[in-house]
Amino acid sequence: MRNSRRNFLQQLAVSAAAMPFLTFEQQAYTPVPHNRQGRVLRVALMGLGGYATRVAEAMQSCKRAKITGLISGTPAKIKEWQAKYNIPEKNCYNYETFDQVKDNPDIDAVYVITPNGLHHDQVIRIARAGKHVICEKPMAINAREGQEMVDACREAGVKLLVGYRMHFEPNTLEVIRMRSAGEFGKIMFFQGLSGFKIGDPTQWRLDKTLAGGGAMMDIGIYSINGSRYMVGEDPIWVTAQETKTDEVKFKAGVDETIQFQLGFPGGAVASCLSTYNMNYLDRFFMTGEKGFVEMQPSTGYGPIKGRTHQGALAQPHVMHQTLQMDGMAEIILDDSQPVVPVDGLEGLKDLKIIDAIYAACATGQRQKLSL
C-alpha cells in the first residue's frame, strides 16, 4: 500500500489534470510521469541574497532547469557567482540593464528573489522583455500590484509562477492526495502556526516599503497558502487580531503578531498564527470527520515530518527547490499542470487574503473574501 502510494507520489508532482482548485469531493487527480528528459529551462537569478544562494545550490541537482544568467546590484557577487556557476559575462546584468535580457537567447526565464516591495516593477519589466517570470513569495505587497503583474504577463504572453515550493513537496502532496481521496472525510478544522523570532532590526524585512508589511508577508503567508491547499478550498471570510509588544522594532505597518481565522465554503474553519516574535512555530494540524494530519515542521526546508490517523508520513526528502525548479520547467516548457497551482492567480489569491487580514485588524470587522 505504502509502496504504491510512493510510486503514485513520485509521479504526482505535476499532473495532467488541467483543473481549477476543487473541493475533495469534486477532485480526481490524473497522475502522469514527470518529463525529466525534455528541454532544459535556462534561468537567470535576480537578487543574489540568502534565498537565491539556496536556490542556486538546489538547482545543481535539477534535470530540467539550470542557471544561465545573473542579475545583481553587487558587482563582487556577480564575479563570485560567475566563477562558481560558469556564467559568461554576456549573461550578467544589473538592475539598470536587465531589460536587455530581451535580446539574450540563453535566458528563457528570470527568477526574482529580491525584497517583496521590488517584485512588482521587476516582474513587469521582465514580462515586457518577453521572458517567463518566477517570482518569490509574497508575489507583491498588495492585491492591486499582484493584479497588475498578472495582467502584464498575460499581455506579454509569458508565464508568471510564484515560488510556492511546498506545492512540489512529496509529504505535502501525499496529504493532498489523501484529502482529495476522502481519507480524512469532510474537513472540519485547520490550524496553521507560522513564525520565528526575527533578529537584526535594520533588515529589509522590517522596512514597510521593502517588505510591504511584517511577519504576515514573510511567514504568515505559509499558513494562508497552506490552509488553502490542505482544506482544498478557497476561504470566503476572514477575521483577524493584531498584537504588538515592540513598537520600536515593529513600526507602523510592520506586523509583529497576527492571529486570524478563515471560513471555507464547505464549512471548515481555520485558526492561524503569524509572528516575528516566537520561535518553534512551523506546524499544521487538520482534522476531518474520518481522520487527521499533523505536520511539524510543515513548511520549513525539511525534511517535513508528520503523521496522520493512518501512520507516519514517509515520503523521501529531496531539496524543495530542486523539485520546484524541475516542476516549474515542466510547467513552462511542457505546459504541465501542477497538483496545486503555482501561477500568478494563485499568488494573487494570497495577496487578497493578506489585504483582507490587514483590513480586519484595522476595523475589527469580519471581511468577506471573493477569490
Give the separation between CA 62 and CA 40, rounded to whole angstroms.
9
Please say if 63 is a catalytic residue: no
Minimum distance of ligand NDP from residue 134's CB (angstroms): 11
Report the alpha-carbon distance of residue 267 to residue 365 in Å, rounded. 20
Which residue of 33, 73, 75, 88 would you call a contact of ligand NDP, by CB under 6 A?
73
Window of 49-57, 101-109, 251-259, 310-318 that interacts with ligand NDP by CB under 6 A: 49-57
SS3 of residue 128 by DSSP: helix
Cα-to-chain-centroid distance, residue 181: 24
* C-beta of 168 vs 264, nearer to ligand NDP: 168
Coil/strand/helix, residue 295: strand
Which of 42-50, 143-151, 244-252, 326-334 is the region at the interface with ligand NDP (rule: CB under 6 A)?
42-50
Nearer to ligand NDP, 50 or 157 (CB): 50
C-beta of residue 167 within 8 angstroms of C-beta of residue 342: yes
CB of 54 to ligand NDP, least distance (A): 7
**Annotated catalytic residue, options 137, 159, 349, 352:** 137
- 284 phi/psi in degrees, rounded to 5: -115, 140
218 binds ligand NDP (CB under 6 A): yes
Stretch that binds ligand NDP, among 4-12, 48-56, 234-242, 350-358 (CB under 6 A): 48-56
| Spatial separation of the C-alpha atoms in residues 276 and 216, rounded to whole Å | 9
Q: Give 133-185 as a 3 state SS string.
A: EEECCCCCCCHHHHHHHHHHHHHHCCCEEECCHHHHCHHHHHHHHHHHCCCCC
| Residue from the set 69, 115, 263, 338 that interacts with ligand NDP by CB under 6 A | 115
With beta carbons less than 8 A apart as the criterion, state whether 140 and 210 touch.
no
Binder among 8, 29, 85, 204 for ligand NDP (CB under 6 A): 204
Sign of CA dihedral 297, 235, 232, 189: positive
Non-local (6+) Cβ contacts of 4 within 8 A are none
Closer by beta carbon to ligand NDP, 48 or else 295 = 48
49: contact with ligand NDP by CB under 6 A: yes
Choices 26-34, 66-74, 98-106, 125-133 (CB under 6 A): range interacting with ligand NDP: 66-74
Q: Which helix (H) or strand (E) holds 232?
A: none
Out of 111, 164, 222, 229, the active site residue is 222
> For ligand NDP, which is the closer residue by CB, 163 or 338?
163
Strand partners, 160: 133
Q: How far is the CB of 157 from ligand NDP (least distance, A)?
A: 25
Active site residue 137: yes
Can residue 48 be called a binding residue for ligand NDP (CB under 6 A)?
yes
Q: Which residues contact 189 (CB under 8 A, 6 or more apart)?
A: 268, 269, 270, 271, 285, 286, 287
Binding of ligand NDP by 196 (CB under 6 A): no
Site for ligand NDP in 153-182 (CB under 6 A): 163, 165
Q: Are 320 and 165 in contact (CB under 8 A)?
A: yes
Q: Does 333 bind ligand NDP (CB under 6 A)?
A: no
User: What are the residue numbers of the active site?
Assistant: 137, 222
Residues of the shown chain interacting with ligand NDP in the complex, contacts defined by CB under 6 A = 47-52, 72-74, 77, 113-116, 118, 136-137, 163, 165, 204, 210, 218
